[in-house]
Structure 1
Amino acid sequence: MKRAELLNTLDELLKPETFKDYCPNGLQIEGADNVQRIVCGVSASEALIDEAIRRGADTIIVHHGYFWKNENSRIIGIKRNRIAKILANNINLIAYHLPLDANETVGNNYEMARALKLQNVRATKSNPLVLMGEFHDFVTTEELANKIEGVVHRPPFVVPVDSVALIKTVAFCSGAAQDFLEDAAAEGSDAYLSGEISERTVLEARELGIPYFSVGHHAGETLGIRAMAVWIGNHFPEINVSFVGIDNPV
């Protein structure tokens, strides 16, 4: 299929024009006009590029691409090496950041909600990227940690709160969204999940009386790009599409 058709379909699904993002969404580096083999991954690292080349991919689709706001705009060092390989092999680099966090069909946050089997999932009033949902039954902090580990295949870093024995309502947002913890508490959440944790997060969780679960930035954001690989494969069976996991402990 033509690259333009793939991009139009993904833009229709993810609606990047509705987001004010920190990087360009969609096609970041132009490669082959015809798309036959796609490799999907979380971040456009050199390891992912090398694997895409090994597999003969003409297109790479990621959550974390290039050209971030306020980054060094010079194409030197690591960036030069990565881009040189992409250009030399005529590969398209396509990236969707916030649109892939928020999408109800394949987004990181809704995929987490489905994996945890949360009910009544909705966006919070304070931020449309932050979701809330409820478990059917109350769970303990340890039980929620075990559920998260079952989803992301690594134990979360947990900031427990002695005053909270049981958890019903959970707020969550993938990536570096730890600073929405206070908003989640204000909206009545019993616990908050995000990708990263800062020194201040521990203090805030204790003072707010709401347990915090750091699921890992990379680990939590494998969910959306995996789901998008499956979605593309179902909609375009003529394309060979696969997810490639690059080891990242965070």
Structure 2
Amino acid sequence: MKILVTGASRGIGLAICKELHNQGHQIIGLCRNINEKVLDVWHRDVSCNSELYSVDISNEREVQQFIEKVLEPKGYPDALINNAGITNDSFFHKMEWKQWSDVIDINLKSLFLITQPIYKQMIKNKFGRIINISSINGQKGQAGQTNYSAAKAGVHGFTMALAQEGARSNITVNTLSPGYTETDMIKHINPELLNTIRNSIPVKRFALPEEIAKAVNFLVNESSGYITGANVPVNGGLFIN
């Protein structure tokens, strides 16, 4: 299976690429910036035979160029993992418009831009797997993250609606909502607060990126074709709904 993964250069995205490659899939990775260090890590952890492209998926022109120059001549993916995401935290009364719009653009606007052309091809192929990476904070909300929480809640709304449309074409659409995970994103949290968060998780630890990747692999599998419109939580019991 050919699989496209956004936010592929590090953290959860890189772990997803590695896991899916190890399962025998062909990987197309997208990330905003590529440098020598990123390429070294990609080639070490994924494969020099996989493809990594620099694309700002919140930019309509860049996405269209990628579609025209890469996917149209080389072939569209069978599965899409919408993983790219950013945070830009602030209490709402202090939040600037750019903090709001940047997070909405990367986390939510990009779903339309990258998914629609791929989804159209999936309809023609009568098969597809779309997995959207949301967050525990899209389920429960988080103070200081009105922008991020709104975007990630929107991700699952997108999933539920598109799942109903895609089902007739054998296209499943699901959300995966990780809890706190050992990535660069949590390194910016105050260590004392981080310890408090860890102690509040029933399993008393953060997720490993590889654990999120394993859950993605389960949903990508052709045998998971009866699961669609679901929101799969991987949060150690921190939020149970």
For this structure pair, what is the TM-score category when the shorter chain's length is used for normalisation? 0.3 to 0.5
- What is the TM-score normalised by the length of structure 2? 0.33
- Of structures 1 and 2, the larger Rg is shown by 1
Looking at secondary structure, tell me which structure has more helix per residue.
2
Structure with the higher fraction of residues in strand conformation: 1
TM-score normalized by the length of structure 1? 0.32
